[in-house]
Structure 1
Amino acid sequence: MSQILMIEDEPRISSFVAKGLKAEGLATTVAGTGREGLILALTGGFELVILDLGLPDMDGFTVLEKIRAQDPGLPVIILTARASGEDTVTGLTSGADDYMPKPFRFAELVARVRLRLRSEGNSSSAPADPVLRHADLELDPIRHVAAIGGVEVDLSAREFSLAETFLRHPGQALSREQLLSRVWGYDFDPGSNVVDVYVRYLRNKLGVTRFTTVRGVGYRLVDEKDYQPADD
């Protein structure tokens, strides 16, 4: 299991991300201050760092600078509310591998984390295929392309993130709360019916029989032969 370090002082965000990454098979350690995060980052026990800039004891750029001075190869993704063009440029030119503004979509964060982990893998081996597949449905999270039987399907950003979540957990019953948190982020409204609305959108675009309703839980991506209309 890949080891991720998250340097973030807001418990609500760090807890949300840590739980979500764990569900994706990525173990996450959280540091609430820049000093603690820097010490952990330089132990060599982590494969990637998710770094906030607005830390209570030192600026995130300072943390990044110190990490780069001692470990130039450790991937760092900045995740911050500081989304100005100037901060983005400073982050990338200071050695960050990626820069994501808050609020963020969890599915996009996972895709970026996996991309950086793959790029840091064994460069002598063939790169892992990023395309997600289920029957004749294909999703390429890097190119943001969806296709059925080789024919591209136009999905909105939110529809794509929801479809990606299903394809990363084929056959698994996903609750509405799980889907809300992973696609709509940590500020989601647990009483919203937006998941049901977007599942209907996906059924219209990708096929009704791909997504079955699990009563009292949520939805499941299934093989079309296993679709059970009685559940709906």
Structure 2
Amino acid sequence: MNETTAQAPIRLTRADGSPIRVLVVDDEASLTDLLQMALRYEGWEIKTAADGSSAITTARDFRPDAIVLDIMLPDIDGLQVLQRLRADGNDVPVLFLTAKDALDDRIAGLTAGGDDYVTKPFSLEEVVARLRGLIRRSTLTVDANESPVLVVGDLELDEDSHEVRRAGRLIELTATEFELLRYLMRNPRRVVSKSQILDRVWDYDFGGKSSVVEIYISYLRKKIDAEGSPMLHTVRGAGYMIKPAE
């Protein structure tokens, strides 16, 4: 008797086995209630905030593993909330909620240091899937038989400590920037297309809006190539490649 059963996704926890913590920030009580329900079903610990000031205070006390953050808030907007958290040195992955078809909001959110976005109205399943992807990327594991350090030229990426150094200089990256660089460094001297990057780094199709790849490549260039010869290269019409500086 052949029966196919769908496997439930692996339940994510913190490294110490405690529940994943998620902060949901939105001034629509009905929306936060729905998100709380869906995320608690994952076994995660959830806190909510209805405005930007409360979000900043709660994030500092709660120390979430991910934040769902609406851009439009009654006091300060979500972009300012994120800027203040980043100024505190908080690199928590952030999933922005934006108005439908508001491309400017999406680009602004990514530019401010957000890691991903969904547009309203959205499905709860999509939010959970995006959050799972962000959390996995921010807590990467590697095969015990592999070296955790990737090396391309004078650039080193340690998958265990999440430290990146070029010529010994420590470079601070967000979780998404780290995963993008990791993917490129696992494919040195090889051209990878935007669609390959979207599939590997973001785990889903961006609906043709591949500008997110260009945005994050530009972030990496500013950090990786800031004090040395260029390592990140655009191959016109094909994609991107990383190789040792000449």
TM-score category of the 2 structures, normalised to the smaller one:
0.5 to 0.7
1:18 paired residue among 36, 49, 55:
36
Residue 67 of structure 1 aligns to a residue whose secondary structure is: helix
Residue 23 of structure 2 aligns to a residue whose secondary structure is: strand
2:137 paired residue among 76, 101, 119:
119
- 1:78 to 2:96 alignment: yes
Residue 42 of structure 1 aligns to a residue whose secondary structure is: helix
1:30 paired residue among 48, 63, 67:
48
Q: What are the within-5 Å matches in structure 2 for residues 72-221 of structure 1?
A: 72-81=90-99, 83-124=101-142, 142=203
Instruction: State the shift of 1:44 in Å.
Output: 5.5
List, as ranges, runs of 4+ consecutive aligned residues in structure 1 with deviation greater than 3 Å: 122-127, 141-144
Deviations 1:178-232 (A, max 9, x none): xxxxxxxxxxxxxxxxxxxxxxxxxxxxxxxxxxxxxxxxxxxxxxxxxxxxxxx
- Alignment-mate amino acid for residue 63 of structure 1: V
Maintained 8 Å contact 2:22/2:47:
yes
Partner of 1:41: 59
- 1:9 to 2:70 alignment: no
Task: Calculate the TM-score normalised by the size of structure 2.
Answer: 0.49
Residue 61 of structure 2 aligns to a residue whose secondary structure is: coil
Maintained 8 Å contact 1:111/1:142:
no
Maintained 8 Å contact 2:98/2:105:
no
Instruction: State the shift of 1:67 in Å.
Output: 1.1
Partner of 2:69: 51
Work out the CA distance in 1 between the residues paired with 2:23 and 2:101.
21
Work out the CA distance in 2 between the residues paired with 1:22 and 1:99.
20
Distance change >3 Å, CA 143–CA 86, structure 1 → 2: closer
Task: Calculate the TM-score normalised by the size of structure 1.
Answer: 0.52
- Alignment-mate amino acid for residue 65 of structure 1: Q
Unaligned runs of 5+ in 1: 128-140, 145-232
Work out the CA distance in 2 between the residues paired with 1:90 and 1:60.
10
